[in-house]
Amino acid sequence: MSVLTGRTVVVSGVGAGLGHQVAAAVVRDGGNAVLGARTESSLAKSAAEIDPDGAHTAYRPTDITDEQQCLALAELARERFGRIDAVVHVAAWDSYFGGLEDADFTTWRSVIDVNLLGTLRMTRACLPALKVRGGAVVFIGTQSAVAAPTQVRQAAYAASKGALTSAMYSLARELGPHRIRVNSVLPGWMWGPPVQAYVRFTAETEGAPESEVLNRLTERMALPELATDADVANAAVFLTSDRARAITGQSLLVNAGELMR
């Protein structure tokens, strides 16, 4: 039997990369995926690719900085499929780079509003349905929230995701009595659209082959390749399933062994 048969999973941040892979894995494993993201055309494209007949997907444009839009996405899941069993949070602002000295704290606040508060808004919107029969909340964090990055400085992103990991512990305690598990997946370098773009840009800037730039990343891994979007998606979907029924308050690194804890 597929591990998610009859289950409904809300997935935020569904675009061309990780969010799409999470939703695809949910449907592959027998579940229903309710897709949210800001751009309706991206949602429609993902839904059509994942579930051509539309029997196991629904979607709604959703900005997780807007509480009413979060509530509307949760309501769509209940109206269409009658339940919410899990929510996987992929939506994030990951395109702001820099450290402290060059920080624009107005932008920092915006990053935190998406990555921390937006994730919590979406979680809270799903809570009434999750409490009915228990379920799972899965945050997508980042390796840089628990270890200093070696190449790309994204202090605001790392800080917001680190705060989310801290919040995970509190939520795991708060929601545990309702049999709601709360866990995080922490990717490192992840082969998908953002990292592919980074490799291309760096190669063009340095006049170096893309293979050389990629090798700089993979040489730090215990395994001789980067984890993929699909690898991270599979970890997230595992945490939504009953196979992870006794796991809560935990962070799972998916990073080909670059950092070991």
Active site residues: 157
Residue with tokens 């379920």: 135
Bridge partners, residue 187, by sequence: 254
Six-digit token string for 71 = 């509530």
Q: Phi, psi at residue 146, to the nearest 5°?
A: -120, -5
Class of residue 152 by CB neighbours under 10 A (exposed 0-12, middle 13-18, buried 19+): exposed
Six-digit token string for 17 = 């990369």
Bridge partners, residue 61, by sequence: 37
Give yes or no for a contact between 193 and 14, defined as CB atoms under 8 angstroms apart: no
Spell out where 28-68 has E strands.
Answer: 32-37, 57-61
Spell out where 91-174 has E strands.
Answer: 135-140
Bridge partners, residue 86, by sequence: 9, 136
Six-digit token string for 167 = 């919040």
* Cα→Cα distances 150→153, 185, 194, Å: 8, 20, 17
Q: What whole-number distance in Å separates Cα of residue 113 and Cα of residue 136?
A: 22
